[in-house]
Amino acid sequence: MKLKKNRISSVYRKRKDRRLILNITAVVTVLILSIVLTAAYGNSLKDKAASFDDTPPPELPKDTLASTGEVAAPAREISTLYVPADAFASKESFDAALASVPEDCTALSLYLYTANGGPRWNASSSALLSVASGSSTLTAPDMFAALKARGIYSSAVFESRALTAALAPAERAAVSAYEHLLITELVASGCNEILLFNSLITADTVASVLEYCADLRAVCSDITIGISLARGADVSADGSVIYTRLASSLDFLCLDLTASLAADLNNTFDPLLPPDGTADPEGGNGENAAADPFPTLRETVEYELLHISRYEMRVLLRIPEGAPIEGCSTVLLPFLADLSVHSASLIAEQ
């Protein structure tokens, strides 16, 4: 009986030893296979990396630049010529004015709204609210369709009454809502950008200007909007803050250098003079140009170039009514380009 028990125990130990050996063999095999496969994969990665050494990295799509920390390309440089005020009287007048614009013109400023006169086109928004809008028969769709046919970029100059007049809060809100409706009509008709003009910005008014623009974006989300600043808007202690707040909230800024152009007109820019050979004496030029306190346009641009570069500003110049538009294209814009200013908004004095 005892012998039989020992025999059973011996058989059991042999089976246990065999199972242990099999388990160890399986583990060792797996480890060897893992080492071999890891080495092979590592070599393939090394070969692939070596093949990329002489290959430039793929070019990122433009819409991914901001999310990867890359600096986006600067905004497209724009220099606008202009059309006279009487071009907005009718479709025929506008087509005639457009025909007189140089063939190489790529952008136009359209002085379409004044604080005192209101819209200069036949605004459907005014008719909707039963607001008088002058005698023009030119509609916004006709105007921008003609510009689009010529491939001309359109910049609507808008002198907001809500930002320039002394109005009570309720009046300002009502005027702002009306102006926003007009601007929305222009953008919906194909206008490329809006330039808020002559807004008299100071440290005390910059908040209301930004509120006006924020409300405008709320009703017209795809708008491109900029604003003009009179030279000297940064003279106060808060000047840099004003520029920075505006630049961070709007699409572009314009520095109004009209006074310097007026002081320099009879000396440097004869091709810009109206047919009678002199500019408006009230503008600081004409016979008394030599005594004018304003510096020349060259001196002003050189002095302001740091601001112009830092905030990617355009310069804004008001051209004397009746001045030949060819002079702007052949004299003024090349003059500015020589001073490293490649973006300008030109509008006619009204």
We report the CATH number of the domain holding residue 254 as 3.20.20
Domain that holds residue 172: 76-348
Please check whether residues 44 and 81 belong to one and the same domain: no
Say how many CA atoms lie within 13 Å of 250 toward its Cβ: 29
Angstrom distance (rounded) from CA 186 to CA 156? 8
Angstrom distance (rounded) from CA 139 to CA 91? 8
Please check whether residues 40 and 144 belong to one and the same domain: no
Please check whether residues 189 and 259 belong to one and the same domain: yes
Q: How many domains does the chain have?
A: 2
Which residues lie closer than 8 Å to 34 by C-beta, 6 or more apart?
none
Q: How far apart are the first and last CA of the chain?
A: 129
Q: What is the DSSP string of 288-314?
A: GGGG-SSPPHHHHHHHHHHHHHHTT-E
- Number of other CB atoms surrounding residue 2 within 10 Å: 6
Please check whether residues 43 and 171 belong to one and the same domain: no
Q: Are strands 314-319 and 118-119 parallel, antiparallel or unpaired?
A: unpaired
Q: How many residues does the chain have?
A: 350
Please check whether residues 126 and 257 belong to one and the same domain: yes
Please check whether residues 153 and 263 belong to one and the same domain: yes
pTM over the 0.75 mark = no
Q: Are strands 193-196 and 153-158 parallel, antiparallel or unpaired?
A: parallel
pLDDT tens digit at each of 350 positions of the chain:
544 445 545 544 555 556 656 666 655 564 565 555 445 544 554 454 444 444 443 343 333 333 333 333 334 578 899 998 899 999 999 999 999 999 889 999 999 999 989 999 999 988 888 787 788 999 999 999 999 999 999 999 999 999 988 889 999 999 999 999 999 999 999 999 999 998 878 888 889 999 999 999 999 988 999 999 887 665 555 567 788 889 999 999 999 988 888 878 777 787 777 666 555 544 444 444 444 566 888 988 998 888 888 888 999 999 887 788 888 888 899 999 999 999 999 998 76
